[in-house]
Amino acid sequence: MATLEQRLEHLFPSKKRKGPSSIALVALIFAERRGKWLTQDDAISLMNKKFADSTIRKAFKELSRPLDVLEGHSFIDIELIRRYDKGRPALRGKLSEAAAERIFELVTPVKEKPPSSFLLINKGGKLEIPPLFVGSENNGSKWLSPEDILLLREKKIGKKQANRLLKGIADKGKPYSESVDILKDHRFGPLPSHQIRIIDAGQRELASDENRLCIGIKALVMPATDEHRKRLEAAGIAPCPSCGNPTHRSDLIRIQGTETDSCLTEYFELAKKCIHSIRHEDGSWSEMIVGISGMTSEGETKDECRKKLMNDLMIWIRDKQLNGSAIPPIPQAQFCLLSDRDRL
């Protein structure tokens, strides 16, 4: 899978060693909003102070010039629009056809099944990339040639990145790649020491791009009326008596020793401050919520461990709600902290 960022960074490589160039990031804003006009001010507000306004204006102008990387086409088409407030018209731009073609180009399917492509990999090994079937029962058989897939991939993200992607897929194993029985399949050349075939998921990963489309939504915020409140109440949603956020009735809990209900969100926020994490030597994790005895979890990664812990906490709370038993308070954060060495 090639991300949109990878393709734009290939078109506009950064001169610095770290991070994408400002021009690649402004280009990304246009690529994410194909067919939409954006003014310089739009681009500036979308960049959210990541660069100086003048840098963004400069990138905007740069993208509207004929570019060598696009064979003399500009990345954005521009036009002037009249502004309502002041006399000076504003400049706005839209992703050009040439740029859209370069970024979103697809491999043309063929009817005849093309041959596999073979690439030499290090230590005398070979990589086989079979053609990718994209047809269906209705429109007959259609194939993507592995050679075309590789060429387009290199054109979009460069040879180095394409090789890195390919190597990653080959190393992944099933369902991305598989070892080939060399003696059975060997047809030409000296016997390679090993051969790997890219299969199903790997072929798709190699051939596909990750695209996205951003859509703007304008929202109007108005003070709530009694009617709104009634409608929300009918749906079981009311302000949390403790924090005031709209909360569903089933998510309100009564914590032992308190006079009013509070919401699950607040309880979870407090609990999270009392999590003690341990990373084991084999890289796996254990976590516990200090103050709730027995609330522990284990996982291969910290993410997995945290997900389990939060899930267990939820089940624990729901159980107590069902039994009508009181939910104990979470100790205050400062009492949860163990020694500095144990805090992660």
SS3 287: strand
Contact assessment for residue 75 and residue 95, using Cβ atoms and an 8 Å cutoff: yes
Taking 3-state DSSP, the helix, strand and coil percentages for the chain, each rounded to the nearest 5, stand at 40, 20, 40
Q: How near is the Cβ of 258 to Zn ion at its closest, in Å?
A: 12
Place of tokens 């407090």: 270
Nearer Cβ to Zn ion, position 142 or 254?
A: 254
CA distances from 110 to 104, 129, 140, 199 (A): 19, 16, 11, 19
SS3 24: helix
Contact assessment for residue 35 and residue 26, using Cβ atoms and an 8 Å cutoff: no
Contact assessment for residue 253 and residue 261, using Cβ atoms and an 8 Å cutoff: yes
Q: How near is the Cβ of 244 to Zn ion at its closest, in Å?
A: 7
Place of tokens 């018209």: 89
Q: How near is the Cβ of 245 to Zn ion at its closest, in Å?
A: 5
Which residue from 312, 287, 291, 289 is spatially nearest to 300, judged by alpha carbons?
A: 287
Residues that bind Zn ion (CB under 5 A): 240, 242-243, 262-263, 266
Nearer Cβ to Zn ion, position 108 or 260?
A: 260
Q: How near is the Cβ of 136 to Zn ion at its closest, in Å?
A: 51
User: Which two structure tokens, joined as six digits, stand for 267?
Assistant: 């309880």
Nearer Cβ to Zn ion, position 195 or 247?
A: 247
User: Which two structure tokens, joined as six digits, stand for 247?
Assistant: 């909360």
Which residue from 277, 294, 273 is spatially nearest to 286, judged by alpha carbons?
A: 277
Q: How many CA atoms lie within 13 A of 254 on its CB side?
A: 10
Nearer Cβ to Zn ion, position 127 or 263?
A: 263
Q: How near is the Cβ of 95 to Zn ion at its closest, in Å?
A: 44
Please give the Cα distance from 239 to 313 (Å, whole number).
Answer: 23
Q: How near is the Cβ of 263 to Zn ion at its closest, in Å?
A: 3
Q: How near is the Cβ of 5 to Zn ion at its closest, in Å?
A: 38
Please give the Cα distance from 47 to 53 (Å, whole number).
Answer: 9
SS3 286: strand
Nearer Cβ to Zn ion, position 31 or 240?
A: 240
Amino acid at 94: K
Nearer Cβ to Zn ion, position 157 or 240?
A: 240
Nearer Cβ to Zn ion, position 201 or 255?
A: 255
Nearer Cβ to Zn ion, position 6 or 262?
A: 262
Q: How near is the Cβ of 247 to Zn ion at its closest, in Å?
A: 6
